[in-house]
Chain A
C-alpha cells in the first residue's frame, strides 16, 4: 500500500529537520536531567511559591521527589509538547502541503499510483518520523539519567510517559495532516494545522494557572495526556491512551478520505 520511491524520497528530505529538532530537544533533556537534585527541587518549589502563576503557566508545578517526577515537571509540561508539535507541522507541510501549494503534487499524481497510496505513504512517513524523534529522545533521556543518576529512573513508567506523549503528538500530527488534506493554500493550512495545536497549547498553559481559567482544560486535547497519572501511578491510563489513539486515527482517516475525492487545482 506504500510507494517506496516516494517514502525514500520523503525520508531523505526530512532528515535534516529531524536531526535539528532532535538536537534541540536533546539539549533541553540533557540539561534538565543534569540539573536534577533534590536540593534544587526545593529551591525551585521556592520559586513556585514566589511566582506561582509564572511557573504554573509552563506546567512546572509540584515537588519532585524522584527523577521521573523531575523530568515530568520540567520537560513534559512545555518542551516535550511544543517542540515535537513544531516538528509535526514542519513535516506535514513538507510532505503534503508544499506539494499542493506549489503544484508539484502534479508530479506525484502523474504516476500510476492511486491517490490513496500516495497520501497513505505521506501519512505513514509522518507518523514514522514522529516515532523516530520520540524514540530517540526517549533513549537519550534514559541514557542521560542512567549515566548521571544510575538506578534512579523508573524505566517502565518513563517509557509509559513517552508512549502516551507519542500518542498525543500523533493527535497533533493528525490535525496538521487533515488540515493539509483539506486546504489548497499554505496560509489556510497554517491557520488550521498549526493554529489549532497552538491554541490547545495556550489553553493548556492558561488552565494550569487554575482559578476560573482552569475550565479551559476542557477545550484542549492535551488534557488527555495523563502525565501526572503515570508519574504518580494514580490509576489506569489505558482508557486515555485509547482515546488519544482513536482521535489520531480518525483524523488521519478523515484526511485520507477527503484527499481521495477532492479537487486539486495543480
Chain B
C-alpha cells in the first residue's frame, strides 16, 4: 500500500470540468510528478489530498487515513505548498513564519532559519509588499520547516529565479534522501526530469498516463535533420524513409526514430546528404502531445 492512495477519484463540477476516475499511488520515499496543462485538474486533486474538498466518488487517503475525515491527523506529518499563494498579507514574513510555526506547534525553529538562509530570504517586510518570488520562498519555508514525512507541492518553483529553482531541486533531492514522500505538480519538464521517479500526466480531468522516468529515457526518440542540395533529393529521400515519420521542409528532411541509430544512419548515408543533425527528443517533446487538444 502506498503512502498516498488515490482511487477512482471523481469530482464533477459540470460542463466537463472536474476530475474523473483518477487513480494513482505514491510509494514511500518516492518523488511523484504531476504534469498537465492549466485547468487539467492538478490543483483539484491536491485539494482532495489536503481535505479541503470531498470526492463525489472514489477515495483519497494518506497512510491509510481518509484525507477528509482524518485531516488533522494527516496534517501532523504533512507539508503543503499551495499553488495559488495567498498568505496573510497584513503580516510581515517573520510574523507569518512565527505564526505558522505556532499553529503547527513547532518549537525547534532552527531548520526554519536554515531554510531562510538557504533561500536568501529576507522576511522582514510586509507580505503585501513582497514580490511573487519572495512569497513563494516564504511558502516553501513554511511547507518544509517542520520536516514532514510527506510533502505536497503545487507548482513549487513558479516565480523563483533560475538559481533558486536549482537550489529548490537540490533541497528536494536532499529530502528524498531522508525518505520523504513527495507529490509535486509542475509545468516545468526539466525539474520533473531531474527529480521525479514517476510522473503522471493529467489532461481534461483524466489521467492520461503514468510514466516511470527511468524507462522513459529508453522510449525517447532521436530526431535526425538531414539536409540535401535541392528539394527533389529531399522528397526522394523522404519517400524512401517513410517509416520514420519523415517530414519534408524545403530541402531538409526530419526523421524521428527510436531504438538503435545504426539502421537509420545507414539509410541516411545511402542518400548522400550535405549535412546531418541529430537531437534527442526532450521530455517536453515526448509529453507535448498530451497538451494538444486536437491530438487526443
Interface residues of A (CB under 8 A from B): 3, 5-6, 9, 13, 102-104, 106-115, 117, 261, 263-266
Which residues, 84 to 140 on B, are CB-close (under 8 Å) to A? 84, 86-90, 99-100, 102-105
6 A-B residue pairings within 8 Å (CB atoms): A6-B103, A109-B51, A109-B71, A112-B72, A263-B54, A264-B52
B51 to A, closest residue via Cβ: A109
Most chain-A CB neighbours within 10 Å: which of B54, B82, B86? B86
| Chain A neighbourhood of B76, CB < 8 A | 112
Contact: A103 with B84, CB < 8 Å?
yes
| Chain A neighbourhood of B103, CB < 8 A | 3, 5-6, 107-108, 111, 113
Q: How many residues of B contact A (CB 8 A)?
A: 28
Checking A13, A102, A263 against B52 with a beta-carbon cut-off of 8 angstroms, the contacting residue is A263
Contact: A114 with B53, CB < 8 Å?
no
CB distance from A56 to the nearest CB of B (A): 43
Known: A110-B75, A111-B100, A265-B47. A104 touches B87 (CB 8 A): yes
Known: A3-B103, A111-B100. A263 touches B86 (CB 8 A): no
CB distance from B188 to the nearest CB of A (A): 22
B80 lies within 8 A of chain A by Cβ: yes
Contact: A109 with B102, CB < 8 Å?
no
Which residues, 39 to 92 on B, are CB-close (under 8 Å) to A? 47, 50-54, 71-73, 75-76, 78, 80, 82, 84, 86-90
Which residues, 194 to 213 on B, are CB-close (under 8 Å) to A? none
Contact: A107 with B88, CB < 8 Å?
yes
Contact: B52 with A114, CB < 8 Å?
no
CB distance from A2 to the nearest CB of B (A): 12
Checking A6, A106, A114, A263 against B71 with a beta-carbon cut-off of 8 angstroms, the contacting residue is A114
Known: A112-B105, A264-B53. A103 touches B82 (CB 8 A): yes
Known: A111-B75, A114-B71, A265-B47. A104 touches B86 (CB 8 A): yes
Contact: B52 with A265, CB < 8 Å?
yes
Question: In whole angstroms, what is the CA distance A72 to B43 when docked?
Answer: 55
Question: In whole angstroms, what is the CA distance A113 to B51 when docked?
Answer: 12
Q: How many pairs of residues, A versus B, come closer than 8 Å at their CB atoms? A: 70
Contact: B99 with A115, CB < 8 Å?
no
| Chain A neighbourhood of B50, CB < 8 A | 106, 109-110
Most chain-B CB neighbours within 10 Å: which of A13, A108, A111, A263? A111
CB distance from A246 to the nearest CB of B (A): 30
| Chain A neighbourhood of B51, CB < 8 A | 109
Question: In whole angstroms, what is the CA distance A106 to B102 when docked?
Answer: 15
Question: In whole angstroms, what is the CA distance A31 to B88 when docked?
Answer: 39
Question: In whole angstroms, what is the CA distance A109 to B87 when docked?
Answer: 12
Question: In whole angstroms, what is the CA distance A110 to B99 when docked?
Answer: 12
Checking A103, A104, A110, A117 against B80 with a beta-carbon cut-off of 8 angstroms, the contacting residue is A110
Contact: B105 with A106, CB < 8 Å?
no
Checking A5, A13, A113, A266 against B72 with a beta-carbon cut-off of 8 angstroms, the contacting residue is A113
B127 to A, closest residue via Cβ: A104
CB distance from A183 to the nearest CB of B (A): 16
A4 to B, closest residue via Cβ: B102
Question: In whole angstroms, what is the CA distance A107 to B51 when docked?
Answer: 13
| Chain A neighbourhood of B52, CB < 8 A | 106, 109, 263-266
Known: A5-B102, A263-B54, A266-B52. A106 touches B82 (CB 8 A): yes
Question: In whole angstroms, what is the CA distance A112 to B54 when docked?
Answer: 18
Checking B73, B75, B84, B99 against A5 with a beta-carbon cut-off of 8 angstroms, the contacting residue is B99
| Chain A neighbourhood of B143, CB < 8 A | 110
Contact: A13 with B90, CB < 8 Å?
yes
| CB-CB nearest 4 A-B residue pairs | A5-B102, A103-B86, A111-B103, A263-B53
Contact: A265 with B72, CB < 8 Å?
no
Question: In whole angstroms, what is the CA distance A18 to B51 when docked?
Answer: 34
CB distance from A28 to the nearest CB of B (A): 29
Given contacts A107-B86, A108-B103, A112-B76, 10 further A-B contacts (CB under 8 A): A5-B99, A9-B99, A102-B86, A104-B86, A110-B75, A113-B103, A115-B71, A264-B52, A265-B47, A265-B53
A261 to B, closest residue via Cβ: B54
Question: In whole angstroms, what is the CA distance A111 to B80 when docked?
Answer: 9
Question: In whole angstroms, what is the CA distance A265 to B102 when docked?
Answer: 24
Question: In whole angstroms, what is the CA distance A104 to B135 when docked?
Answer: 13
| Chain B neighbourhood of A110, CB < 8 A | 50, 75, 78, 80, 82, 143
B143 to A, closest residue via Cβ: A110
A266 to B, closest residue via Cβ: B52
Contact: A111 with B53, CB < 8 Å?
no
B96 to A, closest residue via Cβ: A107
CB distance from A5 to the nearest CB of B (A): 4
